[in-house]
Amino acid sequence: MAVDLHIHTTASDGWLTPVQVVHKAQAASLAGIAITDHDTLEGLNILKEAGYLPSASPVIVPGIEFSTDLPEHEVHILAYGMDPQHQELQNYLQELIRDRLTRVEKMLAKLTQLGYPLEYRRVRELAGNAKALGRPHVARALIEKGYFLTIAEVFERLLMKNGPAYVPHYKLMPEEVIRLIHRAGGAAVLAHPGQIHNDDIVAGLITAGLDGLEAYHPHHCADEAERYQQWALDSGLLTTGGSDYHGMPGRFPEQLGVFTAEDAVLAQLQQFLHIA
Ligand code: AMP
Ligand code: ZN
Ligand code: FE
Ligand code: FE
């Protein structure tokens, strides 16, 4: 059986609603999934309201992908199995969502200066019900205006880390996010460590208390997957994996079930979280 522990929905910058994602996961016969939207648990709330239980098939693990920024690196930390009601976590998520709104306004100010004016209202419309606004929503508005043809081109020219229209995220260091995840009863896993392109940072975050490494990710080559899997094993850490599915045309994987991890990674995670 296969699992996918890294999935985005319309609650952040994915294109499918949480309910659509669960249906796709069922169709792909996945044993378990984790909804890991950027900086929000809204997808989980939507599923609860729609009557989905965590123990349903597939098993649904509560998740968040936290965006933390170091001066030269974006560091994404996956949180799994935390208490969604944890007050400090809720307060922090609220701050992140608020900051993402002002961050988009700051990006639009930069874009105007660069000759690509956009209406804030239009970005909000394109983001639909998304709680967590992000660069992909801005990119879509730029494409709609005819400034660029693809999201990849927008990132390359304007929005990549430290690019001309880049605005950093709300400042919280990865170490602080790891501690917050622990206080909320969750497991902290470093997302796509190979994307950081600096294993000294990975080592530092392990020392800071990480519980696992996401070894299996579409952006990792076979060598990286093997290396991070071995590193996790040697350090007594969890190994996790997922597709980073956004349901976005042109972004791999375009279907759920195409890139998965073995169900043993979910079993390990559940054991760690005492929810098996
Ligand atoms: P944000 O939450 O605003 O930091 O945006 C993060 C989102 O942008 C994630 O979905 C990333 O996968 C996406 N992203 C980051 N870099 C690129 C890129 N070069 N091309 C396309 N999407 C990207
Ligand atoms: Zn995303
Ligand atoms: Fe990420
Ligand atoms: Fe992601």
Burial annotation 14-32 (CB, 10 A radius, 16+ → b, else e): bbbbbbebbebbeebebbb
243 lines ligand 1 (CB under 6 A): no
Residue 209 contacts residue 237 (beta carbons within 8 Å) = no
Residue 191 CA to ligand 3 center (angstroms) comes to 6
Q: Tell me what pLDDT residue 39 has.
A: 98
* Nearest atom within ligand 1 for CA of residue 13: 10
How much is the pTM?
A: 0.97
Peptide bond into 84 cis (omega under 30): no
Q: Would you state the pLDDT for residue 171?
A: 79
The verdict on the CB of residue 151 being under 6 Å from ligand 1 is: yes
**Residue nearest atom 20 of ligand 1, based on CA coordinates:** 152
| Residue 148 CA, ligand 1 centroid: distance in Å | 16
Confidence at residue 157, expressed as pLDDT on a 0 to 100 scale: 98
- Evaluate: CB of 13 within 6 angstroms of ligand 1: yes
CA–CA gap between residue 264 and residue 157 (Å, rounded): 40
The pLDDT score that the predictor gives to residue 28 is 97
| CB 160 near ligand 1, within 6 Å | yes
Q: Is the CB of 62 under 6 A from ligand 1?
A: no
Best of 7, 68, 135 for a ligand 1 pocket test (most atoms within 8 Å of beta carbon):
135
- Give the whole-angstrom CA distance, residue 120 versus residue 139: 12
What string of pLDDT tens digits covers the 276 residues of the chain?
A: 999 999 999 999 999 999 999 999 999 999 999 999 999 999 999 999 999 877 778 999 999 999 998 888 999 999 999 999 999 999 999 999 999 999 999 999 999 999 999 999 999 999 999 999 999 999 999 999 999 999 999 999 999 999 999 999 997 899 999 999 999 999 999 999 999 999 999 999 999 999 999 999 999 999 999 999 999 999 999 999 999 999 999 999 999 999 999 999 999 999 999 974
Q: Does any ligand 1 atom lie closer than 6 A to the CB of residue 67?
A: yes
For residue 135, the ligand 1 atom closest to its alpha carbon is 3
How far is the C-alpha of 109 from the C-alpha of 89, rounded, in Å? 30
pLDDT at position 146 is: 98
Ligand 1 neighbourhood includes 120 CB (under 6 angstroms) = no
Q: Please indicate whether residue 14, judged by its CB atom, sits closer than 6 Å to ligand 1.
A: no
Residue 49 phi, psi (nearest 5): -60, -30
